[in-house]
Structure 1
Amino acid sequence: MAKLYRLLTEEDTSAFCHKVSDALAKGWELHGDPSYAYDAANSVMRCAQAVTKDVAADYSPDMKLGQQ
Protein backbone atom coordinates (compact mmCIF):
# COMPACT_ATOMS: atom_id res chain seq x y z
CA MET A 1 0.00 0.00 0.00
CA ALA A 2 1.34 3.42 -0.93
CA LYS A 3 0.13 6.94 -0.18
CA LEU A 4 0.52 9.12 -3.26
CA TYR A 5 0.87 12.91 -3.21
CA ARG A 6 0.15 15.46 -5.92
CA LEU A 7 0.23 19.25 -5.95
CA LEU A 8 -2.34 20.59 -8.37
CA THR A 9 -1.69 24.10 -9.72
CA GLU A 10 -3.42 26.36 -12.19
CA GLU A 11 -4.37 29.97 -12.80
CA ASP A 12 -7.26 31.14 -10.59
CA THR A 13 -9.99 30.22 -13.08
CA SER A 14 -12.66 27.56 -13.30
CA ALA A 15 -9.97 25.30 -14.83
CA PHE A 16 -8.41 24.99 -11.36
CA CYS A 17 -11.74 23.99 -9.81
CA HIS A 18 -12.27 21.41 -12.56
CA LYS A 19 -8.76 20.00 -12.02
CA VAL A 20 -9.40 19.56 -8.28
CA SER A 21 -12.92 18.20 -8.85
CA ASP A 22 -11.56 15.65 -11.34
CA ALA A 23 -8.96 14.47 -8.82
CA LEU A 24 -11.64 14.14 -6.10
CA ALA A 25 -13.86 12.15 -8.48
CA LYS A 26 -10.92 9.77 -9.03
CA GLY A 27 -10.57 9.08 -5.31
CA TRP A 28 -7.94 11.66 -4.33
CA GLU A 29 -8.48 13.48 -1.02
CA LEU A 30 -7.73 17.09 -0.15
CA HIS A 31 -4.58 17.52 1.93
CA GLY A 32 -4.36 20.85 3.74
CA ASP A 33 -5.67 24.21 2.64
CA PRO A 34 -5.41 25.66 -0.86
CA SER A 35 -2.75 28.31 -1.51
CA TYR A 36 -2.90 31.42 -3.68
CA ALA A 37 -0.05 33.54 -4.98
CA TYR A 38 0.39 36.32 -7.49
CA ASP A 39 2.38 35.32 -10.58
CA ALA A 40 4.02 38.64 -11.48
CA ALA A 41 5.60 37.29 -14.66
CA ASN A 42 2.16 36.51 -16.10
CA SER A 43 0.09 39.03 -14.08
CA VAL A 44 -2.33 36.37 -12.78
CA MET A 45 -3.25 34.75 -9.49
CA ARG A 46 -2.26 31.09 -9.24
CA CYS A 47 -3.84 28.42 -7.03
CA ALA A 48 -2.41 25.25 -5.53
CA GLN A 49 -4.04 22.34 -3.71
CA ALA A 50 -2.34 19.24 -2.39
CA VAL A 51 -4.16 15.92 -2.72
CA THR A 52 -3.32 12.41 -1.52
CA LYS A 53 -4.53 8.92 -2.35
CA ASP A 54 -3.92 5.46 -0.90
CA VAL A 55 -3.30 2.84 -3.60
CA ALA A 56 -2.77 -0.90 -3.42
CA ALA A 57 0.61 -0.81 -5.12
CA ASP A 58 4.22 -0.18 -4.24
CA TYR A 59 5.36 3.36 -4.97
CA SER A 60 7.56 3.88 -8.01
CA PRO A 61 8.89 7.18 -9.37
CA ASP A 62 7.72 5.95 -12.78
CA MET A 63 4.04 6.04 -11.70
CA LYS A 64 1.80 8.36 -13.67
CA LEU A 65 0.10 9.98 -10.68
CA GLY A 66 -2.67 11.59 -12.74
CA GLN A 67 -3.70 8.14 -13.96
CA GLN A 68 -3.90 6.61 -10.47
Structure 2
Amino acid sequence: MPSQDEKKSGNITIRSSELEARLDRLDRMMDEPCANPRYGGLTLREAVRKQFLNEDAEKQKSRNPKK
Protein backbone atom coordinates (compact mmCIF):
# COMPACT_ATOMS: atom_id res chain seq x y z
CA MET A 1 0.00 0.00 0.00
CA PRO A 2 1.44 3.41 -0.97
CA SER A 3 2.36 5.76 1.83
CA GLN A 4 0.81 9.22 2.09
CA ASP A 5 3.92 10.51 0.30
CA GLU A 6 3.19 8.39 -2.81
CA LYS A 7 0.67 8.87 -5.60
CA LYS A 8 -0.63 5.85 -7.55
CA SER A 9 -1.39 6.29 -11.23
CA GLY A 10 -2.26 3.10 -13.10
CA ASN A 11 0.60 0.70 -12.45
CA ILE A 12 3.06 3.45 -11.53
CA THR A 13 3.66 4.69 -8.01
CA ILE A 14 5.47 8.04 -7.81
CA ARG A 15 6.64 9.71 -4.65
CA SER A 16 5.48 13.30 -4.25
CA SER A 17 9.09 14.48 -4.16
CA GLU A 18 9.81 12.72 -7.48
CA LEU A 19 6.70 14.23 -9.02
CA GLU A 20 7.68 17.70 -7.85
CA ALA A 21 11.18 17.21 -9.26
CA ARG A 22 9.76 16.18 -12.64
CA LEU A 23 7.38 19.14 -12.70
CA ASP A 24 10.24 21.50 -11.82
CA ARG A 25 12.30 20.05 -14.67
CA LEU A 26 9.42 20.54 -17.12
CA ASP A 27 8.96 24.10 -15.88
CA ARG A 28 12.66 24.85 -16.52
CA MET A 29 12.42 23.26 -19.99
CA MET A 30 9.49 25.53 -20.87
CA ASP A 31 11.79 28.55 -20.35
CA GLU A 32 14.43 27.28 -22.81
CA PRO A 33 14.61 28.66 -26.37
CA CYS A 34 12.31 26.92 -28.85
CA ALA A 35 14.12 24.72 -31.40
CA ASN A 36 11.50 25.30 -34.12
CA PRO A 37 12.74 28.09 -36.47
CA ARG A 38 9.14 29.25 -36.90
CA TYR A 39 9.22 30.42 -33.29
CA GLY A 40 12.81 31.70 -33.29
CA GLY A 41 13.61 33.92 -30.33
CA LEU A 42 10.71 32.61 -28.25
CA THR A 43 10.86 30.31 -25.27
CA LEU A 44 8.96 27.05 -25.50
CA ARG A 45 6.34 28.47 -23.11
CA GLU A 46 5.80 31.50 -25.40
CA ALA A 47 5.70 29.33 -28.54
CA VAL A 48 3.08 27.00 -27.04
CA ARG A 49 0.98 29.99 -25.98
CA LYS A 50 1.27 31.57 -29.44
CA GLN A 51 0.28 28.31 -31.15
CA PHE A 52 -2.67 27.87 -28.78
CA LEU A 53 -3.88 31.42 -29.47
CA ASN A 54 -3.55 30.89 -33.24
CA GLU A 55 -5.52 27.63 -33.10
CA ASP A 56 -8.15 29.24 -30.88
CA ALA A 57 -8.56 32.13 -33.33
CA GLU A 58 -8.94 29.68 -36.23
CA LYS A 59 -11.63 27.77 -34.32
CA GLN A 60 -13.50 31.01 -33.63
CA LYS A 61 -13.38 31.93 -37.33
CA SER A 62 -14.74 28.53 -38.35
CA ARG A 63 -17.56 28.78 -35.80
CA ASN A 64 -18.55 32.30 -36.81
CA PRO A 65 -17.99 32.63 -40.57
CA LYS A 66 -18.56 36.09 -41.99
CA LYS A 67 -21.61 36.39 -44.21
Instruction: Flag the structure with higher helix content.
Output: 2
Shorter-chain TM-score bucket reads under 0.3
Task: Select the structure with the greater relative contact order (CA < 8 A; seq sep ≥ 6).
Answer: 1
Instruction: Flag the structure with higher strand content.
Output: 1
Q: Normalising to structure 1: TM-score of the pair? A: 0.25
Task: Indicate the structure (1 or 2) with the bigger Cα radius of gyration.
Answer: 2
Q: Normalising to structure 2: TM-score of the pair? A: 0.26
